[in-house]
Each structure stands twice: as structure tokens, then as C-alpha cells.
Homo-oligomer: A and B are copies of this chain.
Amino acid sequence: MNLENATREELQTLEQKLAANYQEYQDAGLKLDLTRGKPGAAQLDLADEMEGSLKDKMISESGTDLRNYGGLDGIPAARKLGSEMLGLRKSEVISGDHSSLTLMYLYMLHAYYHGSQGPDTAWVREGDVKFLAIVPGYDRHFTICEELGLQMVNVDMLDEGPDMDAVDDLVRNDSMIKGMWCVPKYSNPTGNVYSEEVVERIASLGKIAGSNFRVMWDNAYGVHDLFENPQQLANVMDYCRKYGTEDNLILTASTSKITYAGGGISFLGTSEKNLEHFRKRLSVMSIGPNKLNQQRQVLFLNNIEGVRAHMRKHAEILRPKFAMVQKHLESGLGGKGMGTWCNPEGGYFVSFDALPGLAQEIVRLAGEAGVKLTPAGATFPYTRDPNDRNIRLSPTFPSVEDLDLAMQIFVTCVQLASIRKRI
């Protein structure tokens, strides 16, 4: 049955049946959670041999006592690993503590108040600075902009990445736009991988937007493939070198969703010139990152090949979870005209677009039946989804069994809300 073709009576009958199912779910008093992109315990277990691995390895090869103070850039071995993950030269990467979000925040703060290339370039001096938000996108990126008072301008995510014609237009016509957020591989939440053409166009933006424009390239899921022979992401820095826009690019990544979500290490990569300025900020607030935890990660992962081998184990755990989500979406909503969704080949999320105006209602219904979803609107700046339709599903943390049940309930809620809208 497709929503468009059904008679009013058919819909009313179905609504009653769904409402009865829904009531049963409510009565069961379930507590299921699909809100955040957390790894499951089985993924974390894969890294447990890290603990204890530093015995007699607390002095680095070059003689640095990793237990003591110092080393603002992170240990050389961690910078090397980061450079392999980001596709950069080692001198272009620093390694921090476990949160790449913190590095992003600090870089944005630096660019806003202190200037990415010195005080004269501080965004705050230029007036009401704006930032492009690719939507739907990652709430924590948007929150950083809100915190700093940067006005966000939405640009749609298309299949190949951001709508680059729109980006070009905006950047050409509004000199107050000073940057954009990108999650280039398995984008949060839509799961897209930016095409080579999009990557090249983004790399060339600095030529239009000027030296104070920053592409915040958050490659959070760069190695988070679910299948063999994954789609490749082009090396954006190579294209920046071609266009002479190396200073316009800030890349970040971490091992948080590789080893331990709360105990990995982070990387920030950019031109050496940018790094030189950024170090001045870091040196005021820190004597250096926790070098022991960096050593622990490096001993465990070794290099990019080690990372990829480890991520194949993650993929084995995650494939059934992502498959379970697709199974319910297809069997429950396929061909019904009640919404569309992505089928990502990696990353942490599945993006679902309901009929316009129904996302909040679906999230409410699911919540009251014991399935906690990311609040509707969370994937848009200021938590305002203009069409109230996008819902982000996070299948990594729950067990396959819980996911099975949660997705049944989700599908029921989508059907119920969609049908009630038509009656």
C-alpha cells in the first residue's frame, strides 16, 4: 500500500491496527536508545590489549620520558600516524588528547578571537561573520558556531557531497562567509562520500573566498568502512596544493571510534604556517597532551595499515546492525511513500527523511513507546529543520536484538504519523 493511492477507509483501518501495536509497545515499558553515535562494547573490547602495553615502554625511542611534561605537538609517532590518516606530511599534523572536537573548538576560537594568521585576521574584527552549514549535518559543529556567534547559512547535502553550485554562489556574493564544516566521508548523518569533483571544488574555494576562509574538514569516519573495496575519498590537501590554498584547510580526525571512544587520541592537520599560529594558542593553555596515551595508541595501531586491519573487525560487528536498520526500513516503509532514507557503506548513522512536518511527531511517538531518538532538528543549525523531516538513527551502540525491536517500533511510529496526517 502506498500512502498516495490508499482510500480513506483503508487508512483508517490501518491506523487502528497500528495504534493497537503501538499501545502494546507502550505497555511493554521498553528502554531503547538510538540517540548518539557511540560504539558498542564489543567494538571497545577489540582494543583492550592496549591496557598494560606501556610497561617498560614509557621512554620513547628518542629518549623522551613520556610520563613527564612537555611536547606541545604530541609525540612524533602519533603525529606520523595522524599524517597517514589525514593524508598529510608529518610536519603538518599535531596530535592532541582524546577529543578532536576540542581541537576543532580551539581552532575556531583561535580564528575568531585571535586570528588564524595573527591578530589582524581575527574574524571578530570583520563584523558579523558567517559559516556554511551543510545540512543535515553534525550538531556539535553547529553548536561551536552558535557559541562563537557565527551566523550559519544552510547548504543542502546532495548525493556527491555539498551542493557546490550553491556554495560557490554564496561565497562569491557574501564576503562575510568565512568557512564551512565538512564531514567528507560517511557524512554525519547522511553517509555520503564526497566525490572527487566536490573535493576539488572545495579545495579551490580559498581562491574565491580569500585567505581568511577555513574549510573545517572533519574526517571523523575516514577509516570506518563497512565493506571491502570502499569508495575512496580524494586527498583534499593535494588539491589545495594545486590551487595554493593550503592555508584554507583544517583537517581533523581521531582514534576515538577506532580504539576507545573516550580514550583515543586526536589529530589536527593544516599548513605549517597555520600550525605555527595555532601553537601560540595551545601553548597558553597546555604544556602538552598526555603522551602516554599517544604511545599506547601508536603501539597498538602501528600505522594506517594497522588501523585498517583493526577497522575490519569493527565492520564485522557493525554490518549486521546497519543491515537490521535497512531490513526494517525496506520491509516496513519501502514503496509506501512515507519517507526516504540512506543506505550508507560506512560511518555511524542512517539518515531518515519523513514526510514534511512529521519528524518531531515521530520522535515524540517513538519516545513514548520507549525508543529514544536524537531530537528532531538536531541535524540543523539552531536545531531548526525547516521542513521538520530529518531524523538521525544511530545503530552502533544497541545490540542487534535491541535494534530489531527499536526499528519495529520506529517503523510503526513513521507509519502511524504518516497515515494520521493523511486521514
Q: In the complex, which of the residues A39, A44, A262 has the most CB atoms of chain B within 10 Å of its own CB atom?
A: A262
Residue of B nearest to A52 (CB): B52
A255 adjacent to chain B (CB < 8 Å): no
Whether A398 sits at the interface, judged by CB under 8 Å, is no
By the criterion CB–CB under 8 Å, are A147 and B284 in contact? Answer: yes
Distance between Cα atoms of A147 and B288 in the complex (Å): 18
Is A1 in contact with chain B by the CB < 8 A criterion? no
Determine if B65 and A105 form an interchain contact, defined as CB atoms under 8 angstroms apart. Answer: no
A192 interface residue per 8 A CB criterion: no
Q: Does A327 contact B (CB under 8 A)?
A: no
Known contacts A48-B58, A52-B52: A66-B287 contact under CB 8 Å: no
Query: Which residues of chain B have C-beta atoms less than 8 A from A313's C-beta?
Result: none
Cβ A286 vs Cβ B143 within 8 A: no
**How long is the Cα–Cα vector from A38 to B284 in the complex, in angstroms?**
18
Could you tell me if A260 and B292 are in contact, using CB atoms closer than 8 angstroms?
yes
Interface residues of A in 132-169 (CB under 8 A from B): 140, 143-144, 147
Whether A285 contacts B102 by the Cβ 8 Å rule is yes
A205-232 with Cβ < 8 A to chain B: none
A143 contacts across to B, CB distance below 8 A = 284
Contact A51 B54 (CB under 8 A): yes
The SS class assigned to the A binding surface is: loop
Q: Assuming the A-B contacts A55-B51, A287-B101, are A44 and B67 also in contact, with contact meaning beta carbons closer than 8 angstroms in the complex? A: yes
Q: Does A290 make an interface contact (CB < 8 A)?
A: yes
**Total copies of this chain within the assembly:** 2
B292:A66 contact, CB within 8 angstroms: no
Does A70 lie at the interface of the complex (its beta carbon under 8 Å from any beta carbon of B)?
A: yes
Residues of B within 8 A of A97 (CB): 97-98, 290
Residue among B52, B263, B290 making CB contact with A67, cutoff 8 Å = B263
Which A residues between 238 and 282 are near B, CB-CB below 8 angstroms? 256, 260-263, 281
Is A342 in contact with chain B by the CB < 8 A criterion?
A: no
Chain B residues within an 8 Å CB radius of A288: 262
Instruction: Report if A68 contacts B (CB, 8 A).
Output: yes
Residue from A38, A68, A113 whose CB has the most chain B CB atoms within 10 Å: A68
Chain A positions 56 through 81: 1 when the CB is less than 8 Å from some CB of chain B, otherwise 0: 00100000011111110000000000
Which B residues lie within 8 Å of A48 (CB)?
55, 58
Which residues on the B side are within 8 Å of A263 (C-beta)? Answer: 66-67, 290-293
Question: Can you add 15 more A-B contacts, CB < 8 Å, to A67-B261, A97-B290, A99-B286?
Answer: A38-B68, A38-B69, A44-B58, A51-B54, A51-B55, A52-B52, A68-B260, A69-B262, A101-B286, A101-B287, A105-B284, A144-B285, A147-B281, A147-B284, A263-B292
- Contacts A/B (CB < 8 Å), 27 sampled: A38-B70, A44-B65, A44-B67, A48-B58, A51-B54, A52-B52, A52-B55, A67-B260, A68-B261, A69-B256, A69-B262, A70-B262, A71-B262, A97-B290, A101-B286, A105-B284, A105-B285, A105-B286, A109-B109, A147-B284, A262-B287, A262-B289, A262-B291, A262-B292, A263-B290, A263-B292, A290-B293
List the 5 closest pairs (A to B, CB-CB), nearest first. A52-B52, A105-B285, A67-B260, A44-B67, A69-B261
